A and B are shown apart, each in its own frame.
Chain A
Amino acid sequence: MASLEDELRSALRRREPSPDFTERVLARVSAAPARRAPQPWVRWLAAIAAALLLAAGGLEYRHYRGERAKDQVLVAVRIAGSKLNKAQKKVQMLTHRSTS
């Protein structure tokens, strides 16, 4: 039992690092490749790509709205024209009857 305790004590005993420990750690830290910020041109490229995407989306939406508005105009003119036409037809018929 005492030997187990001795073994544990020996294993967990505080040990001083070697004298060059700090130097080795610092050397490794400086040797590790630093994580660099993206190049400015990458940022610009991303911004331009985002702007182009937004512009393309906006144009596509405007085109959709324009085509839809055009169809609505044609429907409206068709309905208005046909109703006006009917009124005109009736007036012409009455005028024709009264003159003949």
Chain B
Amino acid sequence: MKAAGLAIALLLLAGAAPAQQVKWNFDKLAARASDTVDVSLSGSLLRLATKFLSDDDKDEAKVKKLVGGLKGIYVKSFEFKKPGEYSAADVESFRAPLHAPDWERVVGVHSSEDGETVEVYIKNEGKGIGGLAIIASEPKQLTLVNIVGAIDLDSLSELGGHLGIPEVDVDKKK
């Protein structure tokens, strides 16, 4: 009886547990990469960072608003000296934890011209988005972004044109 009660309590706790960072193993890729960008910000560090983001600076204020409610941001970007230094299996290992029903792939685009693929996954949590994952592969670069928490995709895309990100407006290019 006690064991059953404990099991129920554990199940309830698991259900109530906050969104977690998805775990990947990057050791093999890191060994092959010529450059690596590694950003690992837990909730407490994010809260500290937001205190240092200015309200007066327009861009920083937007970033502050965007990351204010997040529980973590994790970015790994590997750059390789020449194409073919990572395999399809490496990319597949990035996809592996992002499976249904928790995760849903919302965008997947591939360009045969530049050999670039971008996949966007969102984590469904209750009423809204509980997290975001982006896998971007280029011939000499492999990037994984994992944002934990309710991210506003509109705000993130609004940052196009800011922080050195080129603004996208196809219609203007006509």
**Residues of chain A having any CB pair with chain B under 8 Å:** 62, 65-67, 69-70, 72-94, 96
Cross-chain contact B52 with A96 (CB below 8 angstroms): no
Q: What are 23 A-B interface contacts by the 8 Å CB criterion?
A: A72-B41, A73-B49, A73-B50, A73-B53, A74-B60, A75-B37, A76-B41, A77-B63, A77-B66, A77-B156, A77-B159, A80-B132, A80-B156, A83-B134, A83-B136, A84-B118, A84-B157, A85-B165, A86-B116, A86-B118, A87-B107, A90-B109, A96-B171
CA–CA, A73 and B157, complex, Å: 16
Quick check: A90 and B111 within 8 Å, CB to CB?
yes
* Interchain CB contact (< 8 A) of A84 among B52, B156, B171: B156
Using CB atoms, name the residue of chain B closest to A93: B170
Pairwise interchain contact A74-B75, C-beta atoms closer than 8 A: no
Cβ of B51 under 8 Å from chain A: yes
B87 to chain A minimum Cβ distance, whole angstroms, is 20
| B contact residues around A73 at 8 Å (CB) | 41, 46, 49-50, 53, 63, 67, 73
Least CB distance from B144 to A in Å reads 10
Contact of A81 among B39, B52, B159 (CB under 8 A): B159
What A residues does B163 contact at CB under 8 A?
A: 74, 77-78, 81
Per-residue interface assignment for chain B, residues 116 to 148, with 1 indicating a CB less than 8 Å from any chain A CB and 0 otherwise: 101110000000000010101000000101010
B168 lies within 8 A of A83 (CB): no
> Could you say which of B41, B132, B145 contacts A79, with CB atoms under 8 Å apart?
B145
| Interface SS of B by simple majority | mixed
How many pairs of residues, A versus B, come closer than 8 Å at their CB atoms? Answer: 116
Q: Which residues of B contact A (CB under 8 A)?
A: 37, 39-41, 45-46, 48-53, 60, 63, 66-67, 73, 75, 77, 107, 109, 111, 116, 118-120, 132, 134, 136, 143, 145, 147, 153, 156-157, 159-160, 162-166, 168, 170-171
Contact A72 B168 (CB under 8 A): no
Query: B48: which A residues are within 8 A, CB to CB?
Result: 62, 65-66, 69
How far is it, in angstroms, between the C-alpha of A57 and the C-alpha of B163 when the chains are bound?
Answer: 32
Pick the 7 closest A-B CB pairs, nearest first. Answer: A69-B49, A90-B109, A70-B52, A87-B118, A66-B52, A83-B136, A89-B168
In the docked arrangement, what's the CA distance between A2 and B53, Å?
A: 101
